[in-house]
Structure 1
């Protein structure tokens, strides 16, 4: 039994094949709705090996076949057995994946996937639809940056293993950039450097063109004094120390994570662009101080961009990861009256915004990383339920989140209302991959028509 899928990509064949050869390609193509995790990417499309972690401690090993490697036309991988964890799948499930690249002309390529497996085609087609869109959108984003003169750069990233960091670093490496992961432990890989958040080493940023600072403790949790202290201390002090290190190293660009929490939790229907005044409350105070901590870099003449991130959409983490199983069981519903505004942003659009912050020299200061069309909680609930073909009939009283987060946490997170809009990006004609929530959720959850 076999399946064949294909799509035309607006890029030369050599560029498309090279994208697949680079680190991060496998991660960029992995559908986020599948219950798998990437343990290792293949170091070579000719004879390398990629490994996926599956539920139950099982592993899927994809072995590339040197006899079929013919760049830039073809590479092939087959399922293999390498250790006990891979034996059940490797012995019982046939899988041979032929990747082919057909040059249509000097500006477009037909990507063809042929898979020999008993897995039903209906299961595989959503995966390939996702892969083709990721490939096309990523290549288009890199093409835009190149048109602005953004060539290969060396970029240091904190928080590289997190939800946003893992997506961003994979995107950057497939674009030909060198990523240096700043880690708070002894380095175990060539692309890592040890970073002491309290006192960065003098040579930490040697040879670095730009810094992307994503690290910080998760805000999710009960708003106890200790939790609030960890949230604040993991952001303000380390950001200032890293900004000072960037100033001494003379990097060109410093991009720091921030959050729409800057605007406070209760702004009603007020439209919040980057010029809106800060709000009140714990998160507003933390984010204000967090952004101010980047000042040493700005004072040194470094272009500083503060990415005020909305509610990130990805089934791999964050709010959607928590809500998806509830909605699939038919247990989802609005929070309270559902009228609070939710400033959402798809994970790949967020990656594009960080990317733009690196190459657009006219972009600086605060930038709202939110979709152009924020939605109310009630509309979000209805849309997610519709995408998953489930009812959403069980409203959640505010008391529910308060039991988990505490009254303050419920107000600042679950019941927060922030109608934040990306005015600066809109003015710059920034192309969003998903301007509406439903198309974004369908892409992320594999529910697009195939």
Structure 2
């Protein structure tokens, strides 16, 4: 059985082919709702291989065929499955994928996917729709950046293996940038440099054009004294040490993660912008100190962007990863009365905020990284249930989260209410890929997204 799908993207043939050939492309095109994880990315479209981990200890190994390699027109890969019970699985997923690129004109390319497989075409429609949306949007983002002078930069990233960091580094490297991963352990690959947060090597940032600082312990969990200490200790001193190093290295751009926790755990219906006052609570105190720790870089003349992130939406991590199986089983529901505001952002929109922070000189100081349409908890519940075609009939009583997180954790995480507006981004004319929750969840969970089809 054969499947053929195609799309036209607004980029030249060679530009599109080169995007596919770079590190990160495979990760950018892998649907987040599928139970796959990338183990090894190919180093060559001519004769390399990519390896993905499947449930049950299986591995999906895609080997590229040198005979079909014809840049910038074509490459192909064939799949084998190994691991326990690999023989029947290999028969079930027989797969040969030919990728073709036809020039429509100087600025447009037809991308054609031909797949030889027994898998029905209908089962792959969501995957190809997702891949085409990602490809077009990523190419457009890199084109905008190049028009503003960002091309072929060397960018150091902390927290590169986390939910945001893994998506961001794949996006940057597939766009032609060199990513330097700052890691705590001894370097295992050429793109890693060891970073001691308490005493970073004076030469750590040699040859680096900009820093994106994402590292920090997860805030999820019961707010014990130790957990609060871990949250603060993983952010404050390491951020200051890195900012001081960036200042000594003369870097012009320093981008640091932050959080909308700055505004406090409950500001009612107040619409919060970057100019709003700090709120109350442990997280507000930590975020304020975290942002202040970037001051050495700013004092040295660097443009410092503090990305105040909302609730990140991705099936690979965060709240959506926790809620998806519950809602899939029909066990989801609002929390308490459901009136609390949830300021959210899709993972790809967050990646674009960090990317824009690298090239848009109008952005500095705090930048609210949230979608322009916050929702109440009841609206979020309704949207997620509808996306998964399930009911949401089991509300969680207000005391429920406190049993797991403690009173403070429940107040500052599960039942927090922050109605945040991305004022800086909107003033800069920023376009969000998925500005409304329905389209964001549909994109991330493999449902039709008519509002953002290109």
TM exceeding 0.5: yes
**Separation in 2 of the partners of 1:81 and 1:228?**
44
Are 1:217 and 2:212 an aligned pair?
no
SS, match of residue 128 in structure 1: helix
Question: CA offsets per residue over residues 369-416 of structure 1, 9 Å max, x none?
Answer: 000000001000000111111011111012111111101000000100
**Separation in 1 of the partners of 2:233 and 2:164?**
20
* Structure 2 runs not aligned, ≥5 long: none
Q: Which residue of 2 aligns with 1:195?
A: 195
SS, match of residue 70 in structure 1: coil
Q: TM-score, length-normalised on structure 1?
A: 0.98
**Separation in 2 of the partners of 1:421 and 1:389?**
29
Q: Which residue of 2 aligns with 1:240?
A: 240
Q: Which residue of 2 aligns with 1:271?
A: 271
Change (3 A) 1:28 1:53: same
Deviation at 1:89, TM superposition (A): 3.2
Within 5 Å, which residues of 2 pair with 1:103-252?
Answer: 103-252=103-252
SS, match of residue 47 in structure 2: coil
SS, match of residue 227 in structure 1: helix
Within 5 Å, which residues of 2 pair with 1:331-346?
Answer: 331-346=331-346
Q: Which residue of 2 aligns with 1:312?
A: 312
Contact 1:239 1:290 in 2 (8 A): yes
SS, match of residue 296 in structure 1: helix
Contact 1:57 1:85 in 2 (8 A): no
Question: CA offsets per residue over residues 176-204 of structure 1, 9 Å max, x none?
Answer: 10000000000010000000011111111
Q: Which residue of 2 aligns with 1:430?
A: 430
Are 1:285 and 2:285 an aligned pair?
yes
**Separation in 2 of the partners of 1:333 and 1:35?**
24
Deviation at 1:220, TM superposition (A): 0.3
Question: CA offsets per residue over residues 231-289 of structure 1, 9 Å max, x none?
Answer: 01000110001001111111121000000000000100000000000001100000000
**Separation in 1 of the partners of 2:22 and 2:159?**
21
**Separation in 1 of the partners of 2:267 and 2:449?**
37
Deviation at 1:85, TM superposition (A): 7.9
SS, match of residue 390 in structure 1: coil
Deviation at 1:152, TM superposition (A): 1.1
**Separation in 2 of the partners of 1:449 and 1:371?**
17
Deviation at 1:83, TM superposition (A): 6.5
Q: TM-score, length-normalised on structure 2?
A: 0.97
Deviation at 1:440, TM superposition (A): 0.6
**Separation in 1 of the partners of 2:93 and 2:353?**
40
SS, match of residue 398 in structure 1: coil
Change (3 A) 1:375 1:188: same
Contact 1:60 1:86 in 2 (8 A): no
Are 1:378 and 2:389 an aligned pair?
no
Q: Which residue of 1 aligns with 2:29?
A: 29
Q: Which residue of 2 aligns with 1:398?
A: 398
**Separation in 2 of the partners of 1:269 and 1:449?**
30
SS, match of residue 23 in structure 2: coil
Q: Decide which moves more: 269-278 or 144-153.
A: 144-153
RMSD of aligned Cα (Å):
1.2
* Structure 1 runs not aligned, ≥5 long: none
**Separation in 1 of the partners of 2:85 and 2:311?**
36
Change (3 A) 1:145 1:323: same
Contact 2:443 2:449 in 1 (8 A): no
After TM superposition, what 4+ stretches of structure 1 lie above 6 angstroms from structure 2?
82-85
Deviation at 1:80, TM superposition (A): 2.7
Question: CA offsets per residue over residues 50-102 of structure 1, 9 Å max, x none?
Answer: 00000111100001000011111111100136676865533553111011111
Q: Which residue of 2 aligns with 1:255?
A: 255
Contact 1:218 1:231 in 2 (8 A): yes
Change (3 A) 1:13 1:286: same
Question: CA offsets per residue over residues 148-199 of structure 1, 9 Å max, x none?
Answer: 1112110000000000000000000011100000000000100000000111
SS, match of residue 193 in structure 2: strand
SS, match of residue 3 in structure 1: strand
Q: Which residue of 1 aligns with 2:41?
A: 41
Are 1:299 and 2:299 an aligned pair?
yes
The aligned length equals: 450
Question: CA offsets per residue over residues 96-149 of structure 1, 9 Å max, x none?
Answer: 101111111111111111111111212111000000000000000001111111
Contact 1:60 1:90 in 2 (8 A): no
Change (3 A) 1:71 1:440: same
